Structure 1
Amino acid sequence: MATDVLIIGGGPVGLFLAALLLQDGASVRVLEQRHTRNLHTRAIGIHPPALEALHQVGIAGSAVEDGVQIREGMAVSGGKTVGTMSFGGVSDAFPFVLALPQYRTEELLEERVRQLDGESIVRGVRATEVTDDGGQVTVVGQAGGPERCHEVKFGASLVVAADGARSQVRSLLDIPLDSRSYPDHYLMGDFQDPGLHGERAVLFLEPGGIVESFPLPGGIRRWVVRLGRPAGSAGPVQLAELVRERTGILPDARTSTMLSAFSVRSALTRKMAAGRVVLIGDAAHEISPIGGQGMNLGWLDAQALSPIILASLAGGRKDSTDRQFEEFDACRRQAAIVARRQSEINMMLGRPLPEPLLALRNLGIRAAAASPAVNLWVARRFTMQSLARGRLPSSAYR
């Protein structure tokens, strides 16, 4: 079974790349080992450059219609507002961060891919072998359930691995990974929104550590609490109580629709392009979820990679396409380093501080928020505009 491009991983990054390539006439197969979609909210923040990318495949309008437009963030400490940050100046087309559950984003992308090619997504296949002979890549996989498992084989001119932080393809090719661990642990959950902050994102900067709060569609609000150690078996009641202790707000634990605990690490492959196999998204660079950069960074990887793949498939000169893949590798690895630095700053902002140092930090935030120029600079950094490739007219999402 041969195709132009084989994408391993049918999450948001793999599906987006598939849509880009199918629109331009490439034949694509997407292998996804899950039989059904994960319906947890998971990644929720879509930044303006990523919305511009999603506009390229025709789903940005639907995403905006279904999501919550976060146009302002605010920092609170001790019950008082320390500062506010507007996203109004960060983008003409999308002057906001969009909050949308990952499963809905994946649904929109999958619908678009199936419109372009109804047979392109193959579920229930796990890659077990990847062989690159220099002219074609062969992928062997296991398909079906544990009781009716059988071997399948695919051939492709190029393979793109978008199979997540625990990438099977990266392991099969033995591509080195540089990892960092951090002393930061988080517990997060989604609860009914008490309606106190509208559609704002709120950062509660408290002595015990940060609490983050984001609106979601359907009257839901996400709460994220920084911990000094792994959350263990903590549940919705414990999370709600932690939020109350630090903010004075008590989410209703009975309304919990999602709970997740995670410890932070980052990882970066030493190369994203290996012969005729390319790694993108979390398979190439795992970034702290704090700041919501990982999924967005993967989309920007795909956006940068698509024209290079198309040029290669069109029979461009090998030395030219090889150079383009090398430039892609260097550029996207550098983008991941920048994103990692930003995530490290976000985590430092949320670590516990004694009262005197907390007061000094709050004064600095207040001064920055009071300066329009600094406010805009911070907003652009937070919304990944430093990694943007271009702009769309403001009518793009209407």
Structure 2
Amino acid sequence: MGLATGWRRIVTMVSVTVVVAVTAVTAYRVLAPAEVSTAARGDYPDPAASEAGVVGRLPVAPLLVDGRLRVYAAQRQVYADGPADGRHRSTPYWSYRRWPAQVSGVVADGTRVVGRWSDGKLVALEARTGRVAWRADGPTPAGGWTARRTGAGAVWSPPGLFLARAADGRAVLVVSGPHRIAGFGLADGRQLWSAEVDGDCRTDVGTTEAGQFAVVDRCADAAAVEFRDLTTGVLVTRWQPPGRTAGWTAIPVGCATHRVECGGLRVTGSADDGGEGWLVGTGAPVPAPTLDPAGTELDGQRAIRAADGAVTGRAVRTGEELWRRTDLGSVRIVAVQPGRAHLLTETNDLITLDTGTGVERSRFPLDVGSDGVGWAPGSVYAGDGYLALERLREPVAPDADDQRYFLTAEPVLLAVT
């Protein structure tokens, strides 16, 4: 009797041990940090050659890369498909996942795609293959995935992630976090510089065409815009807008993409304050009154504005009118990319003008299938001759869930302009 009881206890103990071990192994496999890289297996897509018009309707926001791929972000994944002008999202050309980290933002330059993750890790992928090119430890972001369903907030306006060309031509990635900012060489991921900061009293502005990184610093008694050299992190200029004491902000204008390689900025205080426009270079900003009115955009040395029934292009330094269009009706500028200004009419037609001459490059309704044009524009991205735009259900309800907020399950339109 006693022997049988002893054996039962031993068997029970062994069984419990086995169950615990299996549970531990299963939990480790599920919860342990993991990286899954699925490289490209097919041929690199050919360059797109579509005529002007709407070419795609997508559920997620694309980042155009090398004129051949579309890169997307999800909560724990960066992936790509092609060709760039594909009508729908297709099977991933390559994919990269991490667990349990979340995607914070994604940027691309040439064929290099860099993802920033919630644990501070930077992972660069080669667009042609999807293989990891380098990894680096960057400043930890304030949060992980903050974008809505389309992922536009991660790929079109990635928080704390900025690209630019340094004065020597090198591509540099600036990464900003609540406690540290750092610069990395895009080619190899080598850290170029790092600086401890107080993120509670600093606001990122962006990178400039002159190879600097700008922030509004309110940590001292008098707020100022600080400009740091991209390759060294050295503070080059600390500039205080004349006549401004408190409550002002600096908005970048004339950027190649969101807050990247910007040619100017507008200093403004309130909604009723149009602000003052400034051109940025290697020294202190230079006044540019042509950029003062809210909504004025900058492309190189040209200021583009839509107001009072006219669209005008002016020389930004002198204010001289270069061209004027009064035949477009009521329009607003939704995006500018080098050489192109994109205007949206009241009926959601997209008109693209040459910023140098005002000549119309294309015009077509932003419509596809039976969706119609009864929607409001959300986030917009323009680059490489493309424009992508989120369509929102009217009336726009920013606090609603995604099903109510977006027009359809495929709210993003992709157009060739």
Tell me which interval the TM-score lies in, with the shorter structure as reference length: under 0.3
Q: Give TM-score, length-normalised by structure 1.
A: 0.24
Q: Which has the larger radius of gyration?
A: 2
Q: Give TM-score, length-normalised by structure 2.
A: 0.24
Q: Which has the higher contact order (CA 8 A, sep 6+)?
A: 1
* Structure having the larger proportion of residues in strand: 2
